[in-house]
């Protein structure tokens, strides 16, 4: 790549010729403020917060989209620049619903609030018209048009990254809004509830539907036995809500905090992940041996499942019939666990702590019930759990470590890596390899399915079988892979996760402001935490989990058997483009 010489605030430097001024300034530790900009997602220069002076240009330029050129001279903080930024921000604030005291982003990271502080905006000189529009409240996501600042980040991630495209700009001029077509509710569109729109929203125009009050009500009910189960990706991100470094593993502190909140039992959803591998691995082996429908496609991600139901109904038979791990575990808790402990299943409240907003929608699906009761009663996001911990004054970073409760305290490292793209595939390969060859493989590090490449393809030699596998993360990549399969590309096993990077980047994870996420891939840091826990695990294969072995021996019978199918498997629904 050729380099060009630019001068920024008197500092000369050489940068690649495809850089923008924003990128070049970052090289010399000059952080130009942004609001609409998100690297590789939304690079449109519409908010005008990143205005700079370019020598020779007739007007101020947006640094996030203005390309560098050889000999360019840039000034980033002249009086003209600073006043223009401040005026633009005040205009945004003039009609913003600024009820900060009751906004859930005020205790976390509101980028609008942070920018107002950075630009020393203490008063707003303009009085804009404030409208009071109704909230759009769905099963997972709440859309508040009164908070929207029209940055278009949500539009870009939904349309260009996830290729779902259920929101866009509607109307013109002052009446412009971000909304679904015809002002429909998100619930009446092919929205998959992935929550990536929440992850990129700089304010509180999009947030999860809170179930915190429902959880407190259950905990304070003496007649209820309330169980928390926690997904693997939560432990690699929860600490961020308490200013701990990104990717810090907080497994033990998380368990301690949950017990302090008042949960009767705290279990690890990784046990459910190990059950999933037993069932899904058995399903894959059966399909390979019997000439069944291939490829088998994983069914752990509810956002991906709904996307498939809308867009690829002709390929639903390729989906594994396995419930997702937390739903499987919920079914076990309300049957096996309830019986072992002489508890009426109607008195058990299963609360899943998930990195995912789509799990809220999933838990309410009528297909996911056991004996007429939902497998999972309530889903909390990682953010909601952090809010509960914060609200009662727990000093989270200072907590000691606790262990998950018996009898499900020994999940495998394979279950832990479910939280990252490629992790379900790798966990399955560790078990399928042993079951197909009837011996324990020493090498269980399947590096070829790891990483953030859009689509990973690997050929894995297992005995006499060369198993062809593919992994995609993010629904735009899923669409590309599914189209390739439709066109005839052959695979045995396919893993798809709805969220870019996998569950570590789920729509319910702690939010990261753009001034961090534009320059640091937090997905990598969170993923490293999960693989560290996997490497330190005594058990690293799902089929070696003693808790899972005991469940099959005492209750389920054989993996893939009739009892397992009754409790741990489900079916899917072809959907039209509206619901």
Q: Catalytic residue numbers?
A: 280, 283, 300, 320, 359, 362, 367, 503
3-state secondary structure of 54: strand
**Alpha-carbon gap, residue 138 to 187, rounded angstroms:** 6
**Cis link prior to 441 (omega < 30° from 0)?**
no
In three-state form (DSSP H/G/I as H, E/B as E, the rest C), the secondary structure along 403-415 is CCCCCCCCCCHHH
Beta strands in 38-117 (DSSP E): 51-54, 61-62, 72-75
Tokens of 377: 């009663």
Tell which residue, 535, 466, 501, has the closest CA to residue 237. 501
What strands lie across the sheet with 296-297, from one edge to the other?
296-297, 493-497, 465-473, 455-462
Tell which residue, 147, 139, 138, has the closest CA to residue 177. 147
Beta strands in 76-189 (DSSP E): 136-137, 141-143, 168-170, 177-179
- Whether the CB-CB separation of 139 and 361 falls below 8 Å is answered with yes
Which distant-in-sequence residues (6+ apart) come within 8 Å of 537 by Cβ?
A: 412, 413, 416
* DSSP 8-state code for residue 569: B
**Alpha-carbon gap, residue 248 to 236, rounded angstroms:** 6
* DSSP 8-state code for residue 195: -
Which distant-in-sequence residues (6+ apart) come within 8 Å of 571 by Cβ?
A: 321, 367
- Whether the CB-CB separation of 537 and 531 falls below 8 Å is answered with no
Query: Maximum distance among all alpha carbons in the chain?
Result: 80
How buried is residue 259: exposed, middle or buried, by Cβ count under 10 Å (0-12/13-18/19+)? middle
Q: What is the DSSP string of 239-284?
A: GGGGTPPTT---HHHHHHHHHHHT-SEEEETHHHHHHHHHHHHHHH
**Cis link prior to 407 (omega < 30° from 0)?**
yes
| Helix boundaries (H) for 537-571 | 546-551, 562-568
**Alpha-carbon gap, residue 156 to 478, rounded angstroms:** 17
Per the listing, tokens 């058997």 go with 561
Tell which residue, 217, 205, 213, 236, has the closest CA to residue 387. 213
**Alpha-carbon gap, residue 346 to 133, rounded angstroms:** 39
**Alpha-carbon gap, residue 391 to 234, rounded angstroms:** 19
**Alpha-carbon gap, residue 574 to 577, rounded angstroms:** 10
How buried is residue 232: exposed, middle or buried, by Cβ count under 10 Å (0-12/13-18/19+)? buried
* DSSP 8-state code for residue 375: S
Q: How far is CA 132 from the centre of its chain?
A: 30
3-state secondary structure of 422: coil
């Amino acid at each position: 790549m050729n380099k060009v010489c630019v001068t920024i605030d008197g500092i000369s430097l050489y940068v690649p010729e495809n850089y923008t001024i924003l990128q070049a300034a970052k090289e010399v530790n000059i952080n130009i403020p942004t609001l609409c900009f998100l690297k590789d997602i939304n690079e449109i220069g519409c908010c005008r917060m990143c205005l700079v002076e370019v020598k020779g240009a007739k007007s101020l330029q947006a640094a996030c989209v203005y390309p560098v050129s050889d000999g360019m001279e840039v000034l980033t903080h002249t009086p003209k620049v600073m006043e223009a930024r401040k005026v633009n921000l005040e205009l945004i604030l003039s009609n913003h619903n600024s009820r900060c005291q009751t906004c859930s982003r005020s205790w976390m990271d509101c980028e609008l609030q942070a920018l107002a502080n950075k630009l020393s905006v203490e008063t707003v000189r303009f009085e804009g018209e404030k409208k009071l529009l109704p909230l759009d409240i769905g099963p997972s996501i709440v859309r508040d048009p009164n908070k929207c600042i029209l940055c278009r980040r949500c539009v870009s991630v939904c349309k260009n990254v996830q290729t779902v495209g259920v929101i866009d700009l509607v109307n013109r001029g002052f009446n412009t809004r971000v909304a679904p077509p015809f002002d429909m509710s998100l619930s009446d569109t092919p929205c998959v509830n992935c929550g990536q729109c929440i992850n990129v929203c700089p304010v509180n125009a999009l947030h999860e539907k809170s179930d915190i009050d429902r959880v407190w009500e259950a905990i304070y009910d003496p007649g209820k036995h309330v169980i928390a189960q926690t997904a693997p990706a939560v432990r690699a991100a929860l600490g961020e809500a308490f200013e701990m470094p990104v990717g810090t593993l907080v497994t033990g502190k998380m368990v301690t905090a949950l017990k302090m909140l008042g949960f009767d039992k705290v279990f690890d959803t990784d046990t459910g992940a190990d059950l999933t591998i037993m069932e899904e691995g058995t399903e894959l082996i059966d399909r390979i041996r019997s000439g069944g429908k291939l490829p088998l496609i994983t069914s752990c991600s509810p956002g991906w499942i709904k996307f498939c139901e809308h867009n690829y109904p002709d390929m639903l038979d390729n989906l594994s019939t396995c419930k997702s791990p937390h739903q499987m575990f919920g079914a076990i808790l309300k049957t096996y666990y309830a019986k072992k402990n002489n508890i009426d299943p109607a008195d058990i409240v299963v609360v899943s702590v998930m990195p995912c907003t789509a799990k809220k929608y999933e838990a309410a699906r009528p297909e996911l019930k056991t004996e007429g009761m939902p497998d999972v009663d309530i889903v909390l996001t990682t953010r909601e759990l952090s809010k509960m911990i914060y609200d009662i004054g727990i000093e989270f970073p200072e907590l000691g470590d606790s262990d998950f409760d018996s009898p499900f305290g020994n999940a495998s490292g394979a279950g832990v890596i479910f939280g990252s793209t490629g992790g379900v595939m790798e966990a399955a390969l560790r078990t399928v390899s042993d079951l197909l060859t009837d011996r324990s493989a020493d090498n269980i590090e399947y590096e070829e399915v790891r990483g953030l490449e859009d689509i990973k393809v690997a050929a894995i030699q297992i005995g006499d079988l060369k198993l062809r596998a593919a992994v995609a993360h993010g629904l735009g990549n899923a669409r590309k892979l599914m189209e390739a399969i439709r066109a005839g590309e052959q695979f045995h096993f396919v893993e798809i996760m709805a969220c870019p990077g996998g569950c570590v980047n789920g729509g319910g994870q702690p939010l990261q402001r753009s001034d961090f996420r534009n320059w640091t891939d937090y997905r990598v840091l969170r993923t490293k935490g999960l693989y560290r826990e996997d490497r330190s695990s005594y058990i690293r294969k799902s089929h070696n989990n003693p808790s899972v072995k005991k469940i099959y021996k005492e209750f389920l019978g054989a993996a893939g058997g009739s009892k397992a199918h009754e409790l741990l498997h489900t079916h899917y629904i072809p959907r039209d483009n509206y619901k």
